[in-house]
């Protein structure tokens, strides 16, 4: 499990919620710490053959292994994504081992499901969207702030490559107030840099930075990797009560039309989009709240896995 990113949302929060349900006795441990027996093992991001061999021992001991995925790291990554991922090795491991080892497979998006169907039958896959635990996302209703917030990982850009940012958006932002949470892209003139925090406190820093801003930015290029990405940043913005401006791609298909940025946007078009979103801010917020209300964490979907 990745304890510092989506694993926190997808596994740890879910198991915290399951503790309150008498129907199932669930525990959360790294696989290597299991010395006894469990009916189910729920783990994440098992991709290469060496890792599958460890998991196979659990299956052979009579345990049902459920594996979760939140990114496609078994096909070629975009050139601007500098994650140290050996996708060729992962692909071979998934092809050879996944169907044999996994009792069930979960993933965060329909795009990931389509990708995983290369390795396992469709009826073995359950899509569980990234959700927010309402216990962490309690916000004060602050007056609307100014400027823009970007809180993305540097895997979405690298050095002089604009990555997921359209050039027209970069040009538009040159003389704007922009807050960056995390590592600053070289091509953004940041007005304020908010350091990364531990994942347990991330929601607090994001809420504070978002509410100081008017808009949150979540650009994505239209490529196969991003078609498998989650709309988590959009959902977090909904919880923060700020309009999220997103790229017009499959990942954000549910977004309001007034908050979508064309892939080939120009600075002039970007200016129009921001002005239109500002005039219709409350309408877009109301739309976002409806989506948010479908994305609060509930354990029901996870309970179905253990039947």
pLDDT digits (tens, 9 = 90+) for 213-233: 999 999 999 999 999 999 999
Q: How confident is the model at residue 306 (pLDDT cuts 50, 70, 90)?
A: confident
Report the half-sphere exposure of 31 (CA within 13 A, side-chain side).
Answer: 23
* Model confidence at 245: pLDDT above 80: yes
Residue 304: per-residue pLDDT: 84
Query: 259 or 54: whose pLDDT is higher?
Result: 259
Residue 115: per-residue pLDDT: 97
pTM equals 0.89
* Model confidence at 1: pLDDT above 50: no
d(CA 289, CA 11): 24
* Model confidence at 10: pLDDT above 60: yes
Determine if residue 85 is left, alpha or beta; phi over 0 gives left, psi from -120 to 50 gives alpha, anything else beta.
beta
d(CA 41, CA 58): 8
Which residues make Cβ contacts (< 8 Å) with residue 32, sequence separation at least 6?
Answer: 54
Query: 85 or 275: whose pLDDT is higher?
Result: 275
* Model confidence at 293: pLDDT above 90: yes
**Domains along the chain with CATH numbers:** 6-131+297-305 (3.40.50), 148-292 (3.40.50.2000)
Residue 43: per-residue pLDDT: 87
* Model confidence at 117: pLDDT above 50: yes
* Model confidence at 190: pLDDT above 80: yes
> Which run of H or of E encompasses 59?
helix 49-60
Residue 37: per-residue pLDDT: 63
* Model confidence at 98: pLDDT above 70: yes
């Amino acid at each position: 499990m990745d304890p510092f990113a989506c694993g926190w949302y997808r596994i740890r929060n879910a198991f915290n919620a399951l503790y309150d349900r008498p129907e199932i006795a669930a525990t959360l441990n790294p696989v290597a710490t299991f010395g006894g027996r469990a009916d189910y093992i729920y783990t994440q991001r098992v991709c290469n053959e060496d890792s599958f061999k460890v998991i196979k021992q659990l299956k052979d001991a009579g345990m049902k292994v459920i594996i979760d995925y939140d990114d496609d790291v078994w096909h070629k990554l975009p050139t601007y994504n500098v994650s140290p991922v050996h996708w060729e090795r992962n692909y071979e491991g998934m092809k050879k081992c996944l169907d044999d080892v996994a009792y069930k497979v979960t993933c965060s998006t329909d795009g990931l499901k389509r990708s995983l169907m290369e390795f396992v039958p469709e009826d073995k896959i359950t899509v569980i969207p990234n959700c927010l635990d309402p216990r962490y996302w309690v916000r004060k209703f602050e007056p609307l702030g100014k400027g823009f917030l970007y809180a993305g990982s540097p895997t979405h850009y690298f050095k002089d490559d604009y990555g997921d940012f359209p050039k027209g958006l970069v040009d538009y932002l040159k003389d704007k107030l922009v807050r960056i949470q995390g590592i600053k892209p070289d091509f953004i003139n940041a007005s304020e840099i908010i350091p990364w925090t531990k994942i347990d406190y991330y929601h607090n820093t994001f809420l504070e930075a978002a509410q100081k801003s008017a808009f949150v930015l979540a650009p994505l290029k239209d490529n196969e990797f991003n078609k498998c990405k989650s709309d988590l940043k959009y959902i977090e913005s909904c919880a923060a009560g700020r309009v999220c401006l997103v790229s017009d791609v499959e990942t954000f298909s549910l977004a309001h039309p007034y908050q979508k940025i064309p892939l080939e946007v120009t600075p002039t078009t970007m200016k129009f989009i921001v002005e239109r979103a500002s005039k219709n801010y409350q309408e877009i917020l109301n739309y976002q709240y409806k989506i948010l209300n479908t994305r609060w964490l509930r354990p029901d979907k996870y309970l179905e896995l253990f039947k």
